[in-house]
Structure formats: structure tokens, C-alpha cells
């Protein structure tokens, strides 16, 4: 044998031996060292996990009436991942599906395309790996066609699901307070490692706003998992194991459906009045328990039907919710709207003046106008009332008394060259009343309002001086309204030159809730509740309790106190008594003419805030009964007129409904809220 061939044969034998050793080693590893792991993998190839959605909990009012509940529906969904693996990318399947559903293939395609910038609605805002719902109102005949012919509908799923429903008990909507659900996004799935999804179910839909978002974890529950055996063709042959889903808990709120309905109707009535006059109004109202901080009603206008989110939303519907032309109905103006409060703000200014050593029982002159520096600041319609006490100043809403307080304090603090530590008593008191900071309500997207001061003025000037100085030179040639253009140009010149200064006019406007002061209706109702309850600043709460589906209590949401007004009980009582006179002999007397004050005496304050280019913002802030207050009610209507003409009538209607003063049954029996949690049925 050739020595070279012999060597090659030896090498070949060695290689074969090595390969046999490697193969033996690998077989040992698979069968012995990692045998258990591969047995588990093999078992998984014969089983499939099916996520069983948990039924989302309901949202109930204080009497157990459902504000949000579930309805059973047959939902058809499309697994776009499975369709993408087909030769025609699922075109034939979608065509057959569209025929069964009685729609066009194009409309089905629109529903399953992914949302992205520039992609109009309808589109799918959730994960691309989830089954995408295309119809949640499928009848039994349509569902059977899909279920019995699965070979013709690969990637199409038809399942009975629980769908969110909004029954509007007593006609109450509370849309912004309730919030809405949207599919979970891929980024959220990435953050929630291990979260199982099922497509169109309570597992994947998460709260995007309102109570649905704030209490999403409680309402959602925990999904179950059913492990089924399948054959080589993927057909189910049996159940290997099953872990039941844990249904979500119910959320019992402090909202009373009857009061909520009354509030919504009262706002709608005043909004319609403004519209007939050519205005473009928005509105909000809040009803609060002055002793606990519980929110009994919370309404905002414009509003919308939250069921619009169920089953997908069209581009037109989506733009309606977000567009300014329709008034941005998705925004809750009760907690996210910021408005100048006008004279309703004077409760803070009175407390500040008394705290700054102005006599509580002193006499003060109320001329028709008062010069603040070189500018005359006038009362409403320039009316003078002569000498009066602070009680009367609140009743008739005299502005000039407060202008003088503010101007005197501004001079004492150094005017445009402030002393080292200016007292700014009105600014400090306003903050103590809770203005300029969030209340802490258990709803998302609350804003803080604005309490301007010297440092804010400087920061604002730094941020806007380039624009102001440019406009001071160019003016506003693009505006057709010459008066408005001249006004804005003058403001720009003034701000460019000395916009960083806290001027006398700033202090004067502040004292009557004008200028740069902004509050939310929720902040204002809490401030009036503090006057009503003796000085406690409460943390507003919409949720009352979390209750399991079997009725057992998970936890109760207890009242919280966040602070106390820095005013004496004597001052608070004085303000409370003065507010009681506003509805009988003051600026709200006309709105409450004929109201049975002997049964329920309403105390309150009108506010008429000027807004350039629009009619005034109308306010009425109140509490009742005046001597032993239980409830605070605030209403606000923009682009309307006086507080006594538009907001006070709305508040009157709300109290009439609450106490049953118009011949109809009272929304609150005997004027009281329920003392116990409602019984929750399974």
C-alpha cells in the first residue's frame, strides 16, 4: 500500500472516531444532562397556552348604579402576523371575511393597519402582535360561518368577549371623569414583562384617562391561562391544565348619578343660551361634600359619548375629540381648564387684608373708580356704593376697596423696587387657599392653575421678551380687527420695555381675580368648601371604595386633609355670613329670586371675569345650607356674561334638583348622601 494512502486512511479513521465521540457526547447531553429541558420543550410542541381574559370591574355611583359596565359581545379579530405568512398576505381571507361581515375589504384593512404619524383613523394603536378587532357587533350567524369554516379563515378569531358599556343612569354621562380604554401599545408591553395579551379584552385595553386610568390595576383583574393539548395539525384534543382568571374589582365612586345628571342639564341650558347669542362657550361645574372632599358631580362642556372608543374610532370622530373647532371635548375643564376667577377670588383677598391688619369690622370707601398709579381702575359699570364694611363689599362685589388694599400693600413692599423680603400678603394667602397648586384629586391630567408673583413675572418676561419686542416694532398687521391689533401692539410695547416688573396694575388685578390669575373650577370649589367647613383644605376624591365582585370590601378611600387656612375662625365666619347675603340682597339676588331660602339658604359669590375679544367668563361659587354647610357647588360658563346672569342660574337649578325644591323628588333624599356602601350584586 502506498504510504501516503495509508496515512490518509489513518486520518480518516481518526476523524470518524472523533465525530462518533462528539455525537455520543451530544446525545448524552441531550438525553441526560439536559433531558428534562428538552422533555419540556417537546411537551410544549404538543400544547398551546390560551390566555383567558379577566372581566373588567364596573364603575358604580354612590348608590350602586353602574356608570360603566360590561356587555357580552361576539368579537371578530384578525391575527395580522398569521396573515402575513400566507402567500397572498391574507388578501383572500380578508375578502371572505369582509363578505361575511357585510363590509368592504378596504374597511377591514383600515382597521388592522397600524397607527403611525400621517395614518388616518381607523387604525390599530396597539401591538402588531395582538389579534386586532374588526367588529364587536357580530351576530350568531356570522360567527358560526367563521367558526365552522376555520380552514377558510386562518388567522381569524371569533370569541365572546366583555365589552365596555356606558348605561347613563338617570341620564348622567360623566364622560371626562370616567375616562376611556385603549389597546395596550407595544412600548407598554415591553415595559410590562410577562404580561399576557389576548387581543380585544380587558387584559389588553388599559385606562387612558379618568377613573379608568387612575384605578386601572384594580379594575383590570388578572387573566387566566388554559393549556390545551393539540395534534400535529394544531387541533385541540383536550385541556392539559387551567388557571382561572381573577375578575377585576368594582370601583364605587362618590358620584351621585341623579346629581350628576342635574349638573349636566343645568350647564347645557346655560350653554344653549350663550350659543343663541352667538357665543362659543365652554363650561364646567363641580359639586363637593364640604366635610369629606368627596366629589358628588363633575361635569365639563363640550362633552362626548365615551362609547365612541368601543370597537375602534374613525378619523372624523378622533378629530372631533381633539380638535379646537369642536371645543376639545376630551378635556375636563373642571380639573384641566384654567380661567380667571373674577370676584369669586375675593374670599382669599378679604382673608389676606384682615391678616395684613386691616380691621375686619372697619369701614371702607367704595368709589366708582380708584387710581392705581396713573390708571383708573373701575367697579363693574363704574358704579360707586359709598362707605361700607367688608361684609357689604362682598355682597355688592365692590372692586375699588380691593384695589386700594392691593395698591397700599404694593407701595409698602417697595413698588417696582421691592424690599428684600416683600410680604405680598394677597399672593401668600391665595396659595394658602390652594390656588396655584394641584388639589391631588384621584384623576389624571389635573393642572395647577397660576398664582403670578414677582418671580413668575420675571421668568415670563425672559421667555417672551424677544417676541414682545419684535411685535412692538411690527405690530399685528395680519389681524383684521384694528382695535385688537392696536391693543396687542400696546401690550407688546409695554411688556418689551418693563414686562419683568411687578407693577401696580398687576397687584390690583390680582386682588379681584383678574390679570394673570388662573384657577380651575375644582380649586375654587375646594376653597369655598374650606370656608364652609371652618378652614380645612380637603383632598378631593371621586373614588369611594374598591369592592370585589362578590361584594367584599378591598379597601375604602378615606378623606384626607391637606392643610388649613391661615385665617382665624372669626374671619372665616365673617366671610361665610357675608356670602349668605349675596343671594338675598347682592349680585346673585336676581338669580335666586323666589328661591325658598327658608328651606335651604344658599351662600355664594358671583364672578365676572373679563377676557379680551370675548364676552365675560361667568362664575358662581357657593355652599349650602349657609349655617350648617354640607355641599359646595361651583359653575363656570365662558364667553357668556355676568356671573349672576349665567352661572348663578345653573347653580340654582343644581340645588333645586339636589333638595327637590321644584316639586320633583330630591336627588339626595332629605338632602343627605348615603352613609353606607351600596350592595354590589355578583
Quote the distance between the C-alpha of residue 528 and its chain's center. Answer: 22
Q: Which of 75-79, 94-98, 435-439, 628-632 has the lowest mean pLDDT?
A: 75-79
Name, in order, each residue with C-beta under 8 angstroms of 2's C-beta and a sequence gap of 6 or more: none
Give the CA radius of gyration of the chain.
33
pLDDT at 289 over 50: yes
User: Which pairing describes strands 59-60 and 47-52: parallel, antiparallel, or unpaired?
Assistant: unpaired
> 404538543: which residue's cell?
46
Over range 346-350, report the average pLDDT.
98
CA–CA distance from 605 to each of 334, 396, 578, 632, 634 (Å)? 18, 10, 9, 12, 10
DSSP state of 517: -
The larger pLDDT score, comparing residue 336 to residue 242, is at 336
Which of 43-47, 108-112, 377-381 is predicted with the least confidence, judged by mean pLDDT?
A: 43-47
The torsion region of residue 594 among left (phi > 0), alpha (psi -120 to 50) and beta comes to: left
Handedness of CA 371, 375, 376, 377 (dihedral sign): negative
- Beta-strand (E) ranges in 565-670? 603-609, 617-624, 631-637
DSSP one-letter string for 540-581: -BSEEEEE-TTS-EEEE---EEEEE-SS-HHHHHHHHHHHHH
Q: What is the pLDDT of residues 13-36, one digit of tens each?
A: 778 877 888 888 777 777 777 766
Sorted by where each begins, the domain ranges of the chain are 48-253, 454-501
Cα distances from 287 to residues 259, 388, 600, 657, in angstroms, run 8, 32, 16, 12
169 backbone φψ class: left, alpha, beta (φ>0; ψ -120 to 50): beta
Mean pLDDT throughout 316-333? 78
Residue 159 has pLDDT above 90, yes or no: no
Number of other CB atoms surrounding residue 640 within 10 Å:
26
Strands 250-253 and 59-60: parallel
pLDDT score of 202 more than 50: no
**DSSP for 377-417, written as a single string:** EE-GGG---EEE-HHHHHHHT-SHHHHHHHHHHHHHTTTTS
Mean pLDDT, rounded, for 290-318: 82
- Mean pLDDT score across all residues of the chain: 88
- Cell representation of residue 253: 365612586
What pLDDT sits at residue 199?
A: 45
Instruction: Categorize the per-residue pLDDT at 9 as very low, low, confident or very high, splitting at 50, 70 and 90.
Output: confident
Residue 434 has pLDDT above 70, yes or no: yes
Q: Per-residue b/e over 615-628, b at no fewer than 16 CB within 10 Å?
A: bbbbbbbbbbbbee
What pLDDT score does 200 carry?
38
Place of cell 339636589: 658
Residue 203 pLDDT level (bands cut at 50, 70, 90): very low
> What does the pLDDT read at residue 604?
98
Q: What pLDDT does residue 127 have?
A: 64
User: What one-character DSSP code corresponds to residue 375?
Assistant: E
**pLDDT level of residue 633 (50, 70, 90 thresholds):** very high
pLDDT confidence of residue 192:
61
Tell me the mean pLDDT in the region 274-298.
97
| The pLDDT of residue 306 | 81
**Cis ω on the peptide bond leading into residue 625 (within 30° of 0)?**
yes
Beta strands, E only, 122-170: 132-138, 156-165
Q: Is the pLDDT of residue 1 over 60?
A: no
pLDDT-wise least confident of 45-59, 172-186, 657-671: 45-59
Do residues 406 and 428 touch, judged by C-beta distance below 8 A?
no
**What digits encode the pLDDT tens for the residues 588-627?**
999 999 999 999 999 999 999 999 889 999 999 999 999 9
Q: Helix %, strand %, coil % for the chain, to 5?
A: 40, 20, 40
The span from the first CA to the last CA of the chain, in angstroms, equals 92
Dihedral angle of Cα 119, 125, 127, 131, to the nearest 10 degrees: -100
Categorize the per-residue pLDDT at 237 as very low, low, confident or very high, splitting at 50, 70 and 90.
low
pLDDT over 80 at 196, yes or no = no
For residue 311, give the C-alpha cell. Answer: 370597537
pLDDT 10s digits, 527-582: 999 999 999 999 999 999 999 999 899 999 999 999 999 999 999 999 999 999 99
Which architecture, in CATH terms, is 48-253?
A: Alpha-Beta Complex (3.90)
- Name the 3-class secondary structure at 193: coil
Confidence of residue 185 (pLDDT cuts 50, 70, 90): low
**Cα→Cα distances 572→136, 342, 388, 567, 633, Å:** 56, 20, 19, 7, 18
Amino acid at each position: 500500500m502506498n504510504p501516503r494512502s495509508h496515512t490518509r486512511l489513518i486520518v480518516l479513521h481518526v476523524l470518524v472516531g472523533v465525530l462518533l465521540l462528539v455525537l455520543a457526547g451530544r446525545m448524552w447531553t441531550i438525553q441526560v444532562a439536559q433531558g428534562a429541558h428538552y422533555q419540556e420543550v417537546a411537551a410544549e410542541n404538543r400544547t398551546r397556552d390560551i390566555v383567558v381574559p379577566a372581566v373588567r370591574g364596573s364603575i358604580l355611583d354612590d348608590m350602586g348604579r353602574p356608570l360603566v359596565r360590561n356587555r357580552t359581545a361576539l368579537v371578530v379579530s384578525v391575527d395580522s402576523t398569521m396573515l402575513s405568512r400566507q402567500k397572498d398576505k391574507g388578501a383572500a381571507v380578508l375578502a371572505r371575511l369582509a363578505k361575511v361581515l357585510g363590509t368592504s375589504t378596504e374597511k377591514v384593512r383600515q382597521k388592522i393597519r397600524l397607527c403611525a404619524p400621517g395614518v388616518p383613523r381607523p387604525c390599530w394603536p396597539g401591538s402588531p402582535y395582538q389579534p386586532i378587532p374588526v367588529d364587536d357587533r357580530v351576530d350568531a350567524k356570522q360567527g358560526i360561518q367563521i367558526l365552522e369554516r376555520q380552514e377558510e379563515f386562518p388567522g381569524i378569531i371569533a370569541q365572546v368577549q366583555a365589552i365596555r358599556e356606558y348605561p347613563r343612569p338617570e341620564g348622567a354621562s360623566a364622560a371626562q371623569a370616567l375616562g376611556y380604554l385603549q389597546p395596550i401599545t407595544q412600548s407598554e408591553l415591553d415595559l410590562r414583562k410577562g404580561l399576557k395579551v389576548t387581543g380585544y379584552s380587558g387584559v389588553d385595553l388599559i385606562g387612558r384617562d379618568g377613573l379608568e386610568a387612575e384605578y386601572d390595576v384594580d379594575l383590570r383583574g388578572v387573566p387566566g391561562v388554559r393549556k390545551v393539548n393539540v395534534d400535529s395539525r394544531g387541533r385541540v384534543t383536550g385541556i392539559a391544565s387551567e388557571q382561572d382568571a381573577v375578575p377585576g374589582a368594582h370601583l364605587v365612586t362618590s358620584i351621585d348619578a341623579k346629581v350628576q345628571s342635574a349638573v349636566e342639564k343645568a350647564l347645557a341650558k346655560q350653554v344653549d343660551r350663550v350659543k343663541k347669542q352667538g357665543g362659543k362657550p365652554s363650561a364646567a361645574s363641580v359639586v363637593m361634600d364640604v366635610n369629606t372632599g368627596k366629589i358628588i358631580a363633575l361635569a365639563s362642556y363640550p362633552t362626548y359619548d365615551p362609547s365612541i372608543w368601543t370597537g375602534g374610532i374613525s378619523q372624523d370622530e378622533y378629530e372631533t375629540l381633539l380638535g379646537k373647532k369642536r371645543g376639545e371635548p376630551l378635556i375636563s375643564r373642571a380639573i384641566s381648564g384654567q380661567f380667571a376667577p373674577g370676584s369669586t377670588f375675593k374670599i382669599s383677598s378679604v382673608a389676606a387684608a384682615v391678616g395684613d391688619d386691616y380691621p375686619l369690622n372697619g369701614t371702607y370707601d367704595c368709589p366708582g373708580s380708584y387710581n392705581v398709579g396713573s390708571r383708573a381702575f373701575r367697579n363693574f359699570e363704574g358704579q360707586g356704593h359709598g362707605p361700607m364694611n367688608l361684609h357689604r363689599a362682598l355682597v355688592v362685589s365692590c372692586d375699588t376697596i380691593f384695589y386700594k388694599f392691593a395698591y397700599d400693600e404694593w407701595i409698602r413692599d417697595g413698588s417696582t423696587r421691592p424690599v428684600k423680603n416683600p410680604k405680598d400678603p394677597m399672593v401668600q394667602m391665595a396659595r394658602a387657599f390652594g390656588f396655584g397648586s394641584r388639589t391631588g384629586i384621584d384623576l389624571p391630567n389635573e393642572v395647577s392653575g397660576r398664582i403670578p408673583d414677582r418671580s413668575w413675572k420675571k421668568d415670563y418676561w425672559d421667555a417672551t421678551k424677544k417676541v414682545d419686542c419684535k411685535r412692538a416694532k411690527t405690530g399685528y398687521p395680519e389681524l383684521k380687527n384694528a382695535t385688537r391689533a392696536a391693543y396687542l401692539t400696546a401690550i407688546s410695547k409695554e411688556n418689551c420695555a418693563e414686562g419683568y416688573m411687578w407693577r401696580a396694575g398687576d397687584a390690583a388685578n390680582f386682588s379681584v381675580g383678574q390679570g394673570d390669575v388662573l384657577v380651575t373650577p375644582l380649586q375654587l370649589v375646594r376653597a369655598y368648601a374650606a370656608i364652609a367647613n371652618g378652614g380645612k383644605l380637603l383632598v378631593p376624591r371621586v373614588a369611594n371604595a374598591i369592592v370585589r365582585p362578590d361584594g367584599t370590601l378591598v379597601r375604602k378611600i378615606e378623606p384626607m386633609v391637606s392643610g388649613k387656612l391661615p385665617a382665624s375662625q372669626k374671619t372665616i365666619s365673617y366671610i361665610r355670613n357675608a356670602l349668605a347675603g349675596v343671594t338675598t340682597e347682592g349680585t346673585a339676588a336676581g338669580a335666586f329670586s323666589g328661591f325658598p331660602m327658608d328651606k335651604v339658604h344658599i351662600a355664594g359669590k358671583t364672578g365676572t371675569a373679563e377676557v379680551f375679544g370675548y364676552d365675560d367668563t361667568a362664575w358662581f361659587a357657593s355652599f349650602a345650607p349657609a349655617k350648617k354647610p354640607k355641599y359646595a357647588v361651583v359653575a363656570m360658563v365662558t364667553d357668556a356674561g355676568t356671573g349672576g346672569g349665567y352661572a348663578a342660574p345653573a347653580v340654582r337649578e343644581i340645588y333645586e334638583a339636589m333638595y327637590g325644591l321644584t316639586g320633583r323628588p330630591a336627588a339626595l333624599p332629605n338632602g343627605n348622601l348615603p352613609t353606607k356602601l351600596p350592595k354590589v350584586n355578583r
